[in-house]
Amino acid sequence: MKIIVLGSAAGGGFPQWNCNCRNCAGVRSGTVAATARTQSSIAVSANGADWVLVNASPDILAQIRATPALQPARSPRDTGIAAVMLMDAQIDHVTGLLMLREGRQLPLYCTAPVWDDLNASLPLAPVLSHYCGVKWHPLETIGDGPGMRPVQVPGIDGIRFTPLALSSKAPPYSPHRDRPAVGDNIGLLIEDIASGRSVFYAPGLGAIEPQVDYAMQAADCVLVDGTFWSAGEMIEHGFSTKSAADMGHLPQAGQRGMIAVLDSLDAHGKAPRKVLIHINNTNPILDEQSPQRAMLAHHGIEVAFDGMEINL
């Protein structure tokens, strides 16, 4: 199984178009040791030719251009993207669907609450019915316990995708932003059936519930929410009144932060490879010379970058 990180930044990307924080200004001027990143998405394949796109970022066209493996060119009009799977209905994860409208009907795997949002509040599905159209394949989870309902995607032989309900947040535009529904946000346990090797992917993760703990301990690689370093990051910058928790993200720092969670896997699980993804442009870990980045390295935690490949 091969995973390519198409986009490793959170909503807005890095640098964000209107942002002059230390990171964004520094990467533009070359005074901060950091690399630009597009918005959150990965591609998963068993054979290197047929891929599941997990999240459709607004940067999808640039991501496809940067990733020759997604264009196998088997016929005059062709794509390596066999299906799209969504982790939530956030703008940074769904609006790329509009950019795929010239293709064949898109198989779309998402939960019922996400499908509802994409038919009502942000009606991409009805809009796309006038172009390629999407065919909904429901992803089911249960709210507590392991909640295992694995699916296989036709054309992607050898990989099993298990959606897990997560505690995070529906998008700001969703009618259930403040009334969480099971399935607003999911994570995926992605397994190579032949080798048994797996990755747990959760770009938006607000709390470590039992099913998340289970998946993290089962996985050979965890590719998880790296949005914010600290709980009050956006407030301290004066960019928002919302904390990381208000936005459904677990920050890295703190006694119960993501670093501590990832550390605990070594004691109880199989010491997986640990990678942070969906990094917000304000996060000091983007600066490769920052003390925060050094601390991650000390804990054996990597920071995803666009084009990163994970082979399992």
On the question of a cis peptide bond just before residue 15, with omega within 30 degrees of 0, the verdict is yes
Q: Measured from the CB atom, is 19 or 261 closer to Zn ion?
A: 19
Partner that binds at residue 21, options Mn ion, Zn ion, ligand MLT, none, CB closer than 5 to 8 Å by kind: Zn ion
Q: Is 17 left (phi over 0), alpha (psi -120 to 50) or beta?
A: alpha
Closer Cβ to Zn ion, 201 or 229, answer by number:
229
CB 228 within 8 A of CB 222: no
3, 5, 7, 11: which one contacts ligand MLT (CB under 6 A)? Answer: 11
Q: What is the smallest separation between the CB atom of 158 and Mn ion, expressed in angstroms?
A: 29
Residue 10 CB, nearest approach to ligand MLT (Å)? 4
Q: Give the helix/strand (H/E) hosting 302.
A: strand 301-303
Among 163, 180, 204, 226, binds ligand MLT (CB under 6 A): 204
Q: What kind and span of H or E run contains 60? A: helix 60-65
Task: Pick the closer one to ligand MLT by CB: 36 or 69.
Answer: 36
Least distance to ligand MLT from the beta carbon of 11, Å? 2
Stretch of residues binding ligand MLT (CB under 6 A), selected from 16-24, 84-92, 185-193, 290-298: 84-92
Q: Which of 36, 66, 91, 148 binds ligand MLT (CB under 6 A)?
A: 91
CB 243, min distance to Zn ion, A: 17
Q: Cα-atom radius of gyration of the chain, to the nearest Å?
A: 18
Two tokens at 32? Answer: 């901060």
Least distance in angstroms from the C-beta of 238 to ligand MLT: 17
Tokens of 123: 């009606």
Q: Which residues pair with 150 in a beta bridge?
A: none
Tell me the window of 87-95, 140-148, 149-157, 256-264 that interacts with ligand MLT (CB under 6 A): 87-95
Give the type of residue at 206.
G
Sign of CA dihedral 33, 39, 42, 48: negative
90 contacts ligand MLT (rule: CB under 6 A)? yes
Distance CA 167, CA 280 (A): 19
Q: Which is nearer to Zn ion, 220 or 233 (CB)?
A: 233
305 backbone φψ class: left, alpha, beta (φ>0; ψ -120 to 50) = beta
> Cβ(87)–Cβ(202) under 8 Å?
yes
CB of 2 to ligand MLT, least distance (A): 25
Contact 6, 38 (CB under 8 A): yes
51-54 and 81-85 beta bridge pairing: parallel
Min dist CB 185 to ligand MLT, Å, is: 9
Of 32 and 84, CB closest to Zn ion: 32
Region from 88-96, 130-138, 139-147, 175-183 binding ligand MLT, contact rule CB under 6 A? 88-96
Phi, psi torsion values for 270, nearest 5 degrees = -110, 30
Q: Is 247 in the site for ligand MLT (CB under 6 A)?
A: yes
Q: For the chain, what's the residue count?
A: 312
C-beta closer to Zn ion: residue 90 or 281: 281
**Which of residues 50, 92, 116, 220 is near ligand MLT by CB under 6 A?**
92
Q: Which residues bind to ligand MLT, rule: CB under 6 A? A: 10-11, 90-92, 204, 247
